[in-house]
Structure 1
């Protein structure tokens, strides 16, 4: 008898396998690329101190390492690891369920089904992950007072209330829905082009994941700058930033302070973070899905 397609999971194990594979992939993705993500956050924050103004990835890396130590680039990683596993489990579980229901596993170009699956997955996952992301960015900023995620979370809650953890959620969805729809659609198209027999192929998964991540990251960077302002507003001493209430306010601050180029702040480190992390995430996901499936 021919071997089963590696993606053809038995009905009693499909959801659990997809969620576990997604959790392991998410932790792998975020932990490896975290220092570049820290640089992206620093570049997107509007800082008044000359020490905290960075002209590029290399400049930011050397300045942070020389003034704060290399460990500063890993500050907040525990928040991501704590949230990424469950959030990615929710993401990939929803992704596969909606893809199946919408007919995305059928032959042919199922772009609508894959886009719907990607968008649905991120709505569910971001609702869980958003507070962890707020804590992470508060710990990543220049001269952050926080070294513990619990101290950071409790301090933000006491000073700004529960809303501080979700003030960026609409903006996060405004990023993540198109990001994941674009990423998942590009991934599926590139994967099917490179791997038409739908076999387990690390090379095709890595390349497809990297291309998909780079395209989605570049197109959604302006929204990501707005999200960073919203999530770090409480750490700013400037009234216009502290009073930002939503995405529209954030866009006005960006335009007033930096013009059109402000919407591209952090583009390079964002792409450098997401392209390999997306490649790693999809490769890990496909590997774990194949490795832990039940025959």
Structure 2
């Protein structure tokens, strides 16, 4: 006698017969949601990290920045450059999560128990590949976020930066970006995977778990890597500065030296508050959307592929 049943799939790892496009699609949606929703806070973070801002762009805190920008430049200013991250975030995060799922499986991260090293190593592999694609979009975004930006749109910014500084301008910060994002993503992924299993040992789909674990992981990783983010901002916006030392800054070591000389140790913590405020919810959103996407795709896959059990 034949009994039909539908095979149950663990959504944490997409089914073996699911295509790579499933992870890529879930990752793309997650990346766009993460960057777009929290973009205004990211704009404030960039402005607060500028080494020598104009008097009109000096802020005492996040709320002061929101008020000052809204009243003097208009609320829409907080969204300048968002098209750049939307254009880049979809394909970059698709690559990011696709690489993460592949590497986590290869490193044994999907086996029972806690595997923080496997999750961290998979996160590092994911960020190396995705940042190579995202870095030019991030440069354009930050050039449009600075006070007094004269660029009309994303294409205008890309064209003018390339004409004035060449292709190097889009990748001058890439080594610094990797120096920041590899530890950021390793900390974030390891923390997230650990907390997810602690909060939800059964491994069932639970959005509250993904939001909570993602938020804590994002906040912790953001705080730990803020000094590197300050240096990255300096390198990515150097072409907008009238200070010759800033314009000629050529790498992480020189950026660190310049920040310390101008602002001391306090300079490395600039923007930490909006960075945490940005990454905590955005990482929670990213993981929640991604895990939901995997859950939906896994359910659809299992519904469409019944297994005959004899």
- Superposition TM-score tier, normalisation by shorter sequence: over 0.9
Structure 1 portions without partners, runs of 5+: none
Q: Which residue of 2 aligns with 1:216?
A: 221
Aligned to 2:17: 12
Structure-1 separation of matches of 2:30 and 2:182: 20
Q: TM-score with structure 2 length normalisation?
A: 0.93
Match of 2:231 in 1: 226
The match for 1:260 is 265
Q: Does the 8 A contact of 2:260 with 2:267 survive in 1?
A: yes
Aligned partners of 1:14 and 1:207: how far apart in 2?
29
Query: Please, what is the CA RMSD of the aligned residues?
Result: 1.0
- 1:47–1:53 contact (8 Å) kept in structure 2: no
Equivalent residue for 1:281, pick from 274, 283, 286 = 286
Report the Cα distance in structure 1 between the residues aligned to 2:173 and 2:13, rounded to whole angstroms: 38
Q: Which has the higher contact order (CA 8 A, sep 6+)?
A: 2
SS in 1 for 2:264: helix
Judge conservation of contact 2:114–2:197 (CA < 8 Å) in 1: no
* Residue aligning to 2:249: 244
Per-residue deviation, residues 114-162 of structure 1 (Å, max 9, x unmatched): 1110000000000000000000000000000012100100100010000
Task: Give the match for residue 177 of structure 1.
Answer: 182
1:111 aligns with 116
Query: Could you say what secondary structure the match of 2:172 adopts?
Result: coil
Q: Which contiguous aligned blocks of 4+ residues in structure 1 show a shift greater than 3 angstroms? A: none
Of the three residues 56, 59, 66, the one matched with 1:61 is 66
CA shift digits 1:234-293 (9 cap, x unpaired): 000011110100011111111111100000000000000000000000000000111123
CA distance in 2, matches of 1:217, 1:181: 12
Shift of 1:88: 0.2
Q: 1:137 maps to what in 2?
A: 142
Shift of 1:48: 4.5
Does residue 77 of the first structure (1) align with residue 75 of the second (2)?
Answer: no
- Alignment TM-score, normalising by the size of structure 1: 0.98
Q: 1:47-91, CA deviations, whole angstroms, 9 ceiling, x for partnerless residues?
A: 342111111101111111111100000000000000000000000
Corresponding residue of 2:307: none
Partner of 1:33: 38
Within 2, Cα distance between the matches of 1:76 and 1:147?
10
Structure-1 separation of matches of 2:250 and 2:13: 46
For the residue of structure 2 that corresponds to 1:244, the secondary structure is: coil
Q: Partners of 1:109 and 1:48 in 2: how far apart?
A: 45
Q: How many residues align?
A: 295
Q: Radius of gyration: which is bigger?
A: 2
